[in-house]
Amino acid sequence: MAASTALLQELDVQNLQLLSNELLSPPQSHGCVVASSLLTSLSPGQCLAPNTCSLANVFYSDIKRLKRELQVAIFRAANQGEDYVIELTNQICISLQIAPEMFQVEELPITEVKVSTDVFFPGAAFLVVSCKADPKAAKKETSPYKSPWARIFTYTGHRVKKTGQSAKQEVMCFPRNVSSCSIASDQFAPVIIPTDRVHIRVGVSPPPGIILTIHAFPPQFPLALAYIETLTSQKKAGILASRTQAIEMEELFECDGHGLEIKEDTAMRKYFENVPITPGALAHVHELIGGYLWRTDMPAVIKEHVFHLLAQTLRVLRYSKAGDCVIFPMLGSPLTPSLSLLLQLHSELRRMYEEETKTWPSGTTCSGPGIGLGIGEQGRFSTYFHSLLEVCLAIAEVTPPITSTSLLGPTSGAAASSSASDGLAMLHVPTSPKSAGKRKKLKAKRDRDRGSTRRSSSPKPPDNESAPPGAPPPVQSASGSSAGSSSSSVSIPSAKPEDMLWFHRALTVAQILRHLTYGDMQGEAVTNDAISDASQGLNTPTAHTRLAVISGIPADLDPGVVKLAIQGACNTNGGVFKDEIYIPVTELEVTQEEKTREDKPRDLETSVEAQLADASREETAAQSDAAVTDGASTAAEVATSSDNQSSVKAKCIKGCAVVELRVKSKFENFRKSLFKSKPLNAGLTYDPEELVEMPDEMFSISPVNQTLFSEPHTNDVLEGYFRNKLLMENSFSLKDDAMLALTEIFHSCFISEQGLSLSDPKTESGYICLSREQIMLCTPGNMMHNFFTNIRSPKKTFVEQVAHVLRRFGITKMEDKEDSATPGKSSRRLSKKGSKTSKEKLAMGASGGKVSSREKKVKESSEKSEKDSTTSEASAKPVKESPREEEKLLTLEGFLQFVVEKAKQDARAVWRALLACGYDLHFDRCCCIDATQGQQMSKQWTLDMDFALVQHINSLCRHLAISPSRLHPHEVYLTEAELSSPAYSCLQGVPGESIKLRFALLQSLNNSLETFFLPLVDLRPHSTFSRSTAALLSKARGLIFYDTKMVFLNRVLNATARRKPDQAAPEITLDPLEHVGVDKKSIFHFVLCQALRQLSHVPSSQLCVRIASGGDPTYSFNVRMVGEEVHGTSGSFRHFLWQVARELEHPGLEILILCASSASSRNKGKYIMRPGTVTFSIEKMLEFIGQLFGITVRADIPMGLDFLSLFWKNLVGYPLDPVTDLQEADILTYNYIKKFEMTESDAELQALCADTYPRFTYPTLSGDEIELIPNGRNVFVNWDNRQQYVDAVRELRMTELQCTHRMTALVAGMASVLPIQVLSLMTPQDLELRMCGMPQVDLDFLKAHTMYQVGLMESDKHIEYFWESLESFSQEDLCKFIKFACNQERIPQTCPCQDGGADTAHVPPYPMKIAPPDGTDSADTRHVRVETCMFMIKLPQYSSLEVMKAKLLYAIHCREDPLSG
C-alpha cells in the first residue's frame, strides 16, 4: 500500500487513461478502424498499421505520443524500485487482471429465422465481429448463397435523418463478396469497429452453419497493450544489452522542425533505454498475459497479437536474467495456470499444423524437399498459426529439456497432465541435426513395425506401442532418458514425437540464426553439430565432376587456336576453374613437300594422324608429353634437321584436351557451346545440328567418373594430364605443390597420434619415422590411413599395401638395450621428437627429404650399441630368430619415393588418394582434416565476414547464371584480385577450406530457410518486437542469399495475387503528344500524371497479379497509346515504365533531387528523396509511385532509376550511418562538420570562423536556411557551444535524408500491391537489383538466352556479324540496343532456367528472338526491324561486318521508341 500511495503521488494513471481515450483511432469512412485501401484511409500510416503486428498501432491514431508518456512513467517508476514498476503495471493493466469481467461476448447463430436487432455493449471502446463454424451444424462444401446472410451496421454514419438521428451505415457483410472472382479466404475476415453499439441483420435458408460472434473490449485494454509493448521494448536486457544496442534499429529523431524538442526527445529515449527493467517486473507482466489468455475467450485476430506480445515478454525475461536461458526449471505438476496454458499452446500448434497442411502439395526442388510455399505457390499458413508458432518457439527457448526426473512428483490434474503429454515432444531443444535423415523415416518405420506387431500372434505390452523400436527418438535422446522411462513417469496416450519433428527443425534453425547473428550461446551446440554435418559433406571428392576430356580435335590446328576456342566456350559458361587448360602436344617429322602442299590439306592431316598414332605407341609418356597449362601460349615450332633438309620437326597437338570447368552444373552447356565452335569443327563434314550424334572417335566431350576414368579412347590423355600435374616435365621429381601436400599428409599421422597421447614422448631421432601401427591407426586427422586406403590396387588389402611400402621404401628399425627391453614402445620412441612444437616438427619433417635419414639412423644405433653391456647376447638373438621379419619404419623421403614410383605407373591412383585426403587438383585443401578443426575455424568467423562471403556468392552466382543451391562448396574460392577489394578485405588470410566449410553451412541454412523456415514465420513484427523471429531474420538478412530471397518473394507474390485470370485488366490510354508543345514547367500532361488520373479509382486488389511469365505475360494494367496500332501489351507497358523513370527526375514533380555531393563530382547523377513538407497532392503522388514500384516488382521489369544507396536503405528499414551516408549524400556538410570536430583550441575555431561568423542556422537540402535552435539567428558559434552546433547540423541533415513522412507514403503505396513485410529480408542492394537490375548488359547471358527462328543458326555469317557488332559496342550503346529491341533499358540478369529447369522456362522479355526479315529486297538496303512485345529482331543478311554495325547504330540512335510490335 505504501508503494501504491507513493506511486500515485508521482504518476496519475487516470491522466494516462484520458490521454489514451483521446488518441484512440476514429472510424474510417467505411466504419472500420483498419484501413483496407488507400482510397479510404485517413493517412498512409494507418494503412501500414496492420503490417506492424501491433494492436497499439491499430487502436491509436498517434501511438508515438502515448508511448512517450508511458516511457516517462516507466522511467520514474523504475528509478524508485521494482515494487513501483509492478504497482504501475497493476494500475495500467487492471483490465487484464479482472478479465473476463470487462470483456463481453455475444454469439448469434445464423438460422432460417431472420433477425434484425441492436446489440449494445456499455463502456466498450472497440467491437470485433468475426465468424466461426457451428460444431452442431453439418459441414457444407459449397456456398449456394447469392447474397450476404449477415449485415452489420453502425450509427456513426455521415448521413443524418430528418428526425436529427444519424442514419445507419453498413460496415460489413458476410460473405463479403459473393461474386465468382472473389477470394475464398477473404469472405469471412474479421473486422474491428470503434463503437459500442451495432445493428445486425442475420438469417438465411438453408443455414450456413456459421455463428456470428461479437467481442467487446474496454478502453483500458488498448492502454494495457501499449504499456506492455513499451515496457518490453527497452534495450537493457542482461548480458546481451551492449550487443543488442548495436543491433536493433530504432528511429532516433523526430522531424517536427524544432531542434530543442528533437534533442529532448532523443535524450529521453536514451534515458529510457538505459533503465534496467528487473526480471520480477517482467515475470509479473508474463503472469498477467498468461492469466488473461487462460481466462478470457477472445477472437483470433486479437489473440494472435497477444501471442506475439507474450513471445516478446518471454524473450526479454530470458535476457533480463543475466543470460540464464532457463526461466521455468520445472514444467511438471503442480502447474500454475499460465504454465499450463503454455503446454496447451503446443497441443494447439500441433493440431493447427496437421489441419492446415493436410491438403498441401509436397515435392522436391534443387534446394531440397518441402511443402506449401517451400516448393511452390500454394499453401500459406494463417497468421494465427504464425503467432502460435512464435510463442511456442519462445517457450522452447526459455524452457529446459524435459527429462524423466522433471516429470516426477505429485500427480497433477487431468488438464495439466493431458497438456503436458501433448507438449512433451515440443519443449526440447534439439541437440543435433545429424539424425535428420533418420527422422524422416521414423514415422514410416514405426507404422511398419506396428503392422507387423498386429499380425503377430504373441501379445505386446501396451506401454511399448507408443514408442518406435530401436534407437530412441531425438527428443528423448537429447534429454538423456529412454522412451520407457518417460512413459512410465507420465501417461502419454497420444504423444508422437515424430509428428513434431518439423517443430524441432524450426527451433534448430532459429537457434543457429541467433547464434550466428547475436552470438547466443544457447545455439552453440546445434551450430557445432551443423558445422560437423557440413564438414562431413565436404569429404567426398568432386574435382572429377568438373573435368571434361575433349577428343577428336583436328591435329593440324595450332595449340593457341584450340585454347582460344575452348576458352571462349568456357567463358560463356562461367569460365575455367583457376584458368587451366591442358593440351598435350608431340613432335612429329613432317616432310617439306607435305608441309607446303596447299591444295591437299587433308593429306597433311592424314599424315599427322598416322605419325601421331605411331608416336604414341613408341614414345614413353615422360618423353612425349608437354602441356599448354596456366595460360602459357604455345606455338608450333619448326626445327630444320641438319641430316635431312627435306623434313622438319613440328609440335602438333595430340587431338585431345582436358579442361576443368568452373562449375560442374555447366557441363552440358559447355558441351553444346563447344560443338558450335567453328575452329574445332572446321575440318569436319557433319551438319552442326547433328554434331551431338557424331562418333566418339571423331569429336566428343566426355566426363570423368569417380575412379578418374573416362571413355576408353581418352584414358591415355587423361593419364598424361594427371601425371603432368604431379611430376616435373623433364624429370621424375615431384612438383613443389605436390611435395607440400604429401608432406602435410605424412605429418598428419604423427600429429594425430600425438594428440591422442597424454604424455610427451621423447626420442633421440630428429626425424619423423612412422611405424606400421601408426599408419594403420584410424584416428581423426590421420590422412595417411586414407591415403593408403585409396591408393592400393583392388587386388591388395590395406594391410598388404602398407607392408609392401614399408618393405620396399622403409628403413630398418635399429634396436638397442632400451629398445630390446621395451620392444612395444620402440616405434613410438623413434617416431616422435622431444619437446618441440608441432610447427618445429613439420619444419624438420620437410627438411628430412634432403638429408639421408638412413645414415642418421645407422649413426644413432651405433651410438646406442656402444653403451649396451650385453652386446654379445643381443647380437646372438637375431641369428636365432632369423625367420622373424625385421620391423621397418617409413620416413618422409621413402614416402615421397613411393609416390613418385606410383605416379610413373598409375597417376590416377595417386590422385584418388590425394582427393580422398581432402585436396583438389591444384593441391589446395577443400575440406578440414576433421570436424574439430572445422569447429575451431568457424569460431573465427564474424557477422561481417559472413556478409562478405554471401555477397561474393551472390556475385559469383550472377556471373555463372546458377542458383547457390547448385553451387558445390568445393567450387568456391576467392582470387587475389577479389581479396584486394574493400568488400572482401575481411576475408584476407582465411584458409580456403574454412571458406568452403562456411559456405557449406550457409548453403544448408539457406536451403532450410527457402523450403521450410521462411513460410513458417510471420515477418510483420520485425520492427515492433525486437526479440521476435522476424526481427532476427531482418538482422540476419545478410546471411540469406539473393536467390533464396527472390524465390521466396516470387512464391509469396503468386500466392497473394488478388486478380483472377478471368478478370479483365484495367486499361489506361496515354497520348504521347499531349505534353508536346506545352509549358515544360507544367507536369499535368506527364505520362505519370495521366496514369495517376486514370488509375486513382482502381482498387489496389486489381493490380495484384502473378509474376509475369510466358510469351504473353499478364501485367497489372494495360497501356494503349493513342494513334499506335500495337499488337500485344508488353512493349507499350515497358515503354510506359521507362518513361515514368525519366519523368521522376523532373524537378517540376518535387519528388526527387540530385544529391548534394554531385556538385563536387561525387555520385554524379544520383538522386535522393526531396525533403520538405508533404502536401495532399504530393502524398497521393508518392502513394501512386509506390504502387508503380510494387507493380514493377510483380512484372519483374527493371526500371532505370539512379538512386543513392540511402534511398534503398530507407525503403527496406535499414539504419543510416551518420558518417558514411552523410559523406555519400552531402560531402560539403560532411567536410564542414569535420573541420569543426578537428579544432583543438579556441584560436583554431576563431581562425576557422573568421570569414563566416556562423550562427545556429544552416541551409536545408532544398536551399532554405532554418534555425537549428529557437532564436538561432542571434546565437553565434563559440568554443563552448561548438559541439552542440555540430550535433544540430548533423541531426538536421540526417533527418532530411531519412525523410520519414515521404517515405511512409511511398511504402504505403507499395504495401497496397506487395506484402511489404517481405522487404525486411532484403538488403538495400537486393531491392535495388530487383527493381533496377544491372546497369550493364551481359552479352554472354544474352547470347545464352537467344533463340534463332525460321531456319537461322548461330553459325550463320550474318549472325556472327551481329554478335561481333554488339561486342564492339559500348555499354551506353548496348543499353540503347536493348531499349530499341524490347522497350526497356535494362533486362533481368537471372532466369528460372538457372535452376536446371527447361530451357523454355524464361522470364520476360527472354528469350531474345532473331528471325529473317519480311520481303525479298536487297539485304544491304534494308534496316533492322524489331517487335518489342516479343523481343524479336528481324535481321537482314548483311554482307559484311561494317554494314551490320552501321545499320545497328543507325537503328538505335535514330529510332528511339519504335513501337512497331
Residues annotated catalytic, as ranges: 1429
* Helix or strand holding residue 1204 (H, E): none
Contacts for 520 with CB less than 8 Å, ≥ 6 apart: 240, 511, 514
DSSP assignment of 1400-1436: T---TTPSEEEEPPSS-S-GGG---EEETTTTEEE--
Sheet with 1408-1411: strands ordered across = 1346-1348, 1408-1411, 1432-1434, 1425-1427
Contacts for 90 with CB less than 8 Å, ≥ 6 apart: 97
User: How many Å apart are CA 1119 and CA 1138, to the nearest integer?
Assistant: 13
- The set of cell numbers assigned to 646 is 627435306
Count CA atoms closer than 13 A to 1019's CA, side-chain side: 20
Within a 10 A sphere around the Cβ of 914, how many other Cβ atoms?
28
* DSSP assignment letter at 1151: S
Q: How long a stretch of residues is the chain?
A: 1461
φ and ψ at residue 400, rounded to 5 degrees: -75, 160
Question: Contact 385/393 with Cβ under 8 angstroms?
Answer: no
DSSP assignment of 1337-1350: --HHHHHHTEEE-T
Pairing of strands 1067-1070, 1118-1121: parallel
- Say whether the peptide bond before residue 334 is cis (omega within 30 degrees of 0): yes
Cα-based distances in Å from 34 to 128, 382, 502: 11, 19, 34
Rg for the chain, CA atoms, rounded: 38
Residue with cell 569460431: 939
Question: Contact 23/60 with Cβ under 8 angstroms?
Answer: yes
User: How many Å apart are CA 132 and CA 202, to the nearest integer?
Assistant: 15
Count CA atoms closer than 13 A to 167's CA, side-chain side: 7
φ and ψ at residue 686, rounded to 5 degrees: -85, 150
Residue with cell 544529391: 1155
- Give the 3-state DSSP-derived string for 466-494, with helices as H, strands as E and coil as C: CCCCCCCCHHHHHHCCCHHHHHHHCCCCC
φ and ψ at residue 285, rounded to 5 degrees: -65, -40
Count CA atoms closer than 13 A to 1124's CA, side-chain side: 21
- Say whether the peptide bond before residue 206 is cis (omega within 30 degrees of 0): yes
Residues 694, 700, 706, 709: what is their CA dihedral angle, to the nearest 10 degrees? 100
Question: Contact 1243/1253 with Cβ under 8 angstroms?
Answer: no
User: How many Å apart are CA 47 and CA 66, to the nearest integer?
Assistant: 19
User: How many Å apart are CA 1309 and CA 1183, to the nearest integer?
Assistant: 4
* Helix or strand holding residue 814 (H, E): none
Residue with cell 534503398: 1208
Question: Contact 723/903 with Cβ under 8 angstroms?
Answer: yes
Contacts for 27 with CB less than 8 Å, ≥ 6 apart: 33, 154, 156, 193, 194, 195
Summary count for the chain: helices (H), strands (E): 59, 30
